[in-house]
Structure 1
Amino acid sequence: MNIKQIPLIFLLISSLYGFSQDGIPVYSDYFADNLYLLHPSMAGAATHNQIRLTARQQWFDQKEAPNLQTVSFNARLGEQSGVGAIFFNDQNGYHSQTGAYLTYAHHIMFSRSEADLNQLSFGLSAGITQQRLDETNFALDDYDPIIAGIVQSTSYFNVDAGVSYNFLDFSSHFTVKNLIFQNRSIYSEDFESNNQRKYLLSAAYAIGKYGADWSYEPSFLFQLTERTAEKAIDINFKAYRTMDFGKLWGGLSYRRSFDGADYLNGLETKGQKAQYVTPVLGINFKDFMFAYTYSYQAGNVTLQSGGFHQITLGYDFLGGRPEPYDCNCPAIN
C-alpha cells in the first residue's frame, strides 16, 4: 500500500464503517422501518406502537470487526404525546460504547378529518453513553509501557432534538444530534473536538393509490458533521406489495460522501469518495416484521471485500389510533 492511500483509508473508516464517537452510528437501520432510531420526533408518531431489535455485523472474516446491536421502543400516549427508549451496544476492536436514550415527543394534528394525515411532531431525546478503550492487548510482542495494559472508560450525557412533518403521502424530518459540547477524558483533547454535533435531514414521498397492491417510495437522507464539515447523502428507493397476510417490500440505498481523497495507483494519482450500496428485503406478517440489509462497499480502494450484514426484527401493536389513515404513508400506517 502506498502511503498516499492512508488518508483515503481513514476517510472510509470514519465516514462509513468506523467506530462512532457520537452515540449510535448512522448506518442503514432507518431503511428497515426504523426511523425512530434517527429522529426522536417519530416517537409515537405512527398509528401503531413499535418494538425493534437490530444486529449489525461487519467483515465476518475479521477478528473484533465492528458490530452494533440496538433495542428500541416507541409508543403513543394520549392524543398528542409519544415516548420512546433506545438501548445500544457498539463495538469496534478495542473500542466499545454502550448507552441508552429516553425520548419525549409532542404531536400536533392539523387534519381536516379523522381519515386525513397532517401531523407536525417535535421530539427530544436525552441519553447516557459509556465509552471504553481496552489497551490490555496492545503490543504484546513489543511491550510499550505508555499504552499497553491500560483500560480507559468515561461516561457522558447528551441530547438530540428533532422535528417531523407528515402530510398524506409526504414525510420530512430534521434532527440535530449531540446538542451539548462535551469534553471526554478517554481521548486526548489535542485530537478530539468537544463538538460532536451532527445534522440529519430526510424526506420521502410515497407513490401509488391508498389501498393499491403496489406502492413505491423514493427518499433521501443528508447528514452533516458540524466540526469537520463532512457531508454524505443516501438516495433510497423502496417498493411495497400488499399481501393477504401483510406486506412484502424491498429497496435499494446508495450512500456517497461529498469528501474524498487522492491515492496513488501505480504512477497515476486518482481520487475516490466513500460510497456503498445497500439492498434491503422485508416482510410484515400480521403484527411482526423482519428485514435483512446487506451493505457493499464500492470503489477501487476498500477496507475488505466482504459486506456488512444487518437483521431487524420488529413487533407492532395497537397504540392511540386503531385505524390507519387514508394515505400511502409507510412510516405512519
Structure 2
Amino acid sequence: MRNRLICSILLLVAFVSRGQELTLPQLSQYLADNPFVVSPTYAGVGDHIKIRINGLTQWVGIEDAPDTQSLAADGRIGNKSGIGMVLYNDSNGETKQRGARLSFAHHLTLDRYEDEFLSFGLSYNFNQFRIDIENFDGFDPSVTDDRSTTNHNFDIGVLYRKNKYYLSLNASNILDKDLTKFNPISEPNQLRNYYLYTGYRFSKNKNSNFEIEPSVFFQWFESDGRSVTDLNAKFRWYDFEDYYYVGATYRFLNDQIGDPLYIAPLVGLKKSNFYFGYSYQIILNEILGFSTGTHVVTIGVDLFQGISNCRCTY
C-alpha cells in the first residue's frame, strides 16, 4: 500500500510538471542525430529526406509510467527552404496526449567559402490532451467524465552555423494554454519555454575519421522559472559515409548542478541509408528506489540523397 502511494505521488508530480505542458516530452531524442525534434530551424538541413521513429519508455518497472512514440520527418524544398513534421503519442498513467508539429525553415548563406549560414524556423503545434477516468479507483464527485482539450500553438527559432559550430535559439509554445475544461485557478496557463542548443564538432584534420562533438542544451520555463541543462559528448568514427558513435549526456536542474536527474550513455550507427540509436537514462533522483532508468530507441532512414546541391544543406 505504501509503495503504491509513493508511486502515485511520483506519477502525479510528473503529470503536473510534464504532462500538462502539452508538448512532445523532450529527453535525449535529439542526440540521436535528429536535432529537428527540438528546433524547426533544422528542417531541410541535409541533402536528403530524413525520417526518424523514436520510442521512449520512462521509469522501467513502474506501472503506467510515461511512454512516448514519435515520428519525425524533414526535407528540402528548393535550395533555400525546408519543411518537416513531428507526430507523437504520449501516455502518462491515465493522462493521454497526442499531437503534431508542422515546421518551415528558410536558410541563408552568409559566406559560402567559410560555410557560414543563418536559418529561421517556424512551427505550428497541434495537441489533444485527455484525462481518461475509466480506470480510476474509487469515486471522485469532482470528476464526472473524461476531460479533454485541444490546443494550438507556435514555435519560432533561429540557427547559426559556421563550419562545424552551431547555435540554435528557440521559443516554444508562445501562446497561452486554453484552461476552460480544467481548473483555471491551480493550473498554469503559460507554456512558453526558451531553449538554446549549441555545440562544435572537433576533428584532427579534414581527412580524419574520428570526431568529438561536445554540446549543451539549456531550457528555461517562463511559468515557474525552472530550468534544466544537458551536458553532452559524442565520439564518432567514420567509415567513408557510414559512421558509429558512443557518448553520454548529463542532465540536471540548474539549481542542483551536482545532483543530476540522470546520466545516459549513448550508442548509434549509420550504415548506408539506415540509422539506429539507443540510450539508457540512468535515474539518479528519488525515483531510483522504484526504477533504474528509461529506454530511448531511435530507428531511421535517409531517402533521396542529393536532392539539393546548395552548401547550406550539409
**TM-score when scaled to structure 2?**
0.89
**Which residue does 1:85 correspond to in 2?**
85
SS in 1 for 2:41: helix
Question: Tell me, which stretches of 5 or more residues in structure 1 are unaligned?
Answer: 261-270, 326-331
Q: Using the alignment, how far apart are the partners of 1:288 and 1:84 within structure 2? A: 19
**Which residue does 1:200 correspond to in 2?**
195
Q: CA contact under 8 A between 1:109 and 1:118: conserved in structure 2?
A: yes
**Which residue does 1:267 correspond to in 2?**
none
C-alpha spacing 1:99/1:319, structure 2 compared with 1 (3 Å) = farther
Q: Using the alignment, how far apart are the partners of 2:133 and 2:13 within structure 1? A: 24
C-alpha spacing 1:324/1:210, structure 2 compared with 1 (3 Å) = farther
**Which residue does 1:173 correspond to in 2?**
168
Which residue identity is paired with 1:130? Q
Q: Using the alignment, how far apart are the partners of 2:269 and 2:16 within structure 1? A: 30
The yes-or-no answer on 1:224 pairing with 2:220 is yes
May I ask how many residue pairs the two structures share in their alignment? 307
Q: How far off is 1:274 after superposition? A: 5.2
**Which residue does 2:297 correspond to in 1?**
311
Q: CA contact under 8 A between 1:12 and 1:274: conserved in structure 2?
A: no
SS in 1 for 2:111: coil
The yes-or-no answer on 1:152 pairing with 2:147 is yes
User: What are the equivalent positions in structure 2 for 1:251-266 lying under 5 Å apart?
Assistant: 251-259=247-255
Moved more, 126-135 or 204-213: 204-213
**Which residue does 2:261 correspond to in 1?**
275
SS in 2 for 1:193: coil
Q: CA contact under 8 A between 2:40 and 2:122: conserved in structure 1?
A: yes
Q: How far off is 1:183 after superposition? A: 2.1
Q: How far off is 1:135 after superposition? A: 1.5
Identical columns (%): 29
CA deviation map 1:31-52 (0-9, x unaligned): 1111001000110022332111
Q: Using the alignment, how far apart are the partners of 2:289 and 2:13 within structure 1? A: 8
**Which residue does 2:271 correspond to in 1?**
285
Q: Using the alignment, how far apart are the partners of 2:311 and 2:284 within structure 1? A: 39
Q: Using the alignment, how far apart are the partners of 1:63 and 1:83 within structure 2? A: 38
**Which residue does 1:40 correspond to in 2?**
40
Q: Using the alignment, how far apart are the partners of 1:153 and 1:213 within structure 2? A: 51
Q: Using the alignment, how far apart are the partners of 1:171 and 1:47 within structure 2? A: 18
Which residue identity is paired with 2:104? Y
SS in 1 for 2:60: coil
Q: How far off is 1:259 after superposition? A: 4.0
**Which residue does 1:242 correspond to in 2?**
238
SS in 2 for 1:110: strand
Supply the RMSD in Å over aligned alpha carbons.
2.7
Q: How far off is 1:112 after superposition? A: 3.3
Q: CA contact under 8 A between 1:259 and 1:273: conserved in structure 2?
A: no
Q: CA contact under 8 A between 2:15 and 2:92: conserved in structure 1?
A: no
CA deviation map 1:12-33 (0-9, x unaligned): 73798x4352311221110111
**TM-score when scaled to structure 1?**
0.84
**Which residue does 1:266 correspond to in 2?**
none
Q: Using the alignment, how far apart are the partners of 1:132 and 1:303 within structure 2? A: 29
Q: CA contact under 8 A between 1:169 and 1:207: conserved in structure 2?
A: yes
CA deviation map 1:241-300 (0-9, x unaligned): 11257111111000000246xxxxxxxxxx985521011100000111100011011146
**Which residue does 1:265 correspond to in 2?**
none
The yes-or-no answer on 1:111 pairing with 2:111 is yes
Which residue identity is paired with 2:178? N
Q: Using the alignment, how far apart are the partners of 1:84 and 1:72 within structure 2? A: 7
**Which residue does 1:329 correspond to in 2?**
none
Q: CA contact under 8 A between 2:22 and 2:97: conserved in structure 1?
A: no
**Which residue does 1:13 correspond to in 2?**
14
Q: CA contact under 8 A between 2:112 and 2:311: conserved in structure 1?
A: no
C-alpha spacing 1:74/1:198, structure 2 compared with 1 (3 Å) = same
Q: Using the alignment, how far apart are the partners of 1:14 and 1:233 within structure 2? A: 21
SS in 2 for 1:302: helix
Q: Using the alignment, how far apart are the partners of 1:92 and 1:14 within structure 2? A: 7
CA deviation map 1:76-114 (0-9, x unaligned): 11121110111011110000110111111110012334x
Q: CA contact under 8 A between 1:51 and 1:74: conserved in structure 2?
A: yes
Q: CA contact under 8 A between 1:11 and 1:274: conserved in structure 2?
A: no
Moved more, 208-217 or 279-288: 208-217
Which residue identity is paired with 1:230? R
Q: Using the alignment, how far apart are the partners of 2:16 and 2:309 within structure 1? A: 41
**Which residue does 1:268 correspond to in 2?**
none
Which residue identity is paired with 2:275? M
Q: Structure 1: which 4+ aligned runs deviate by more than 6 Å?
A: none
**Which residue does 1:187 correspond to in 2?**
182
Question: Tell me, which stretches of 5 or more residues in structure 2 are unaligned?
Answer: none
Q: CA contact under 8 A between 2:40 and 2:103: conserved in structure 1?
A: yes
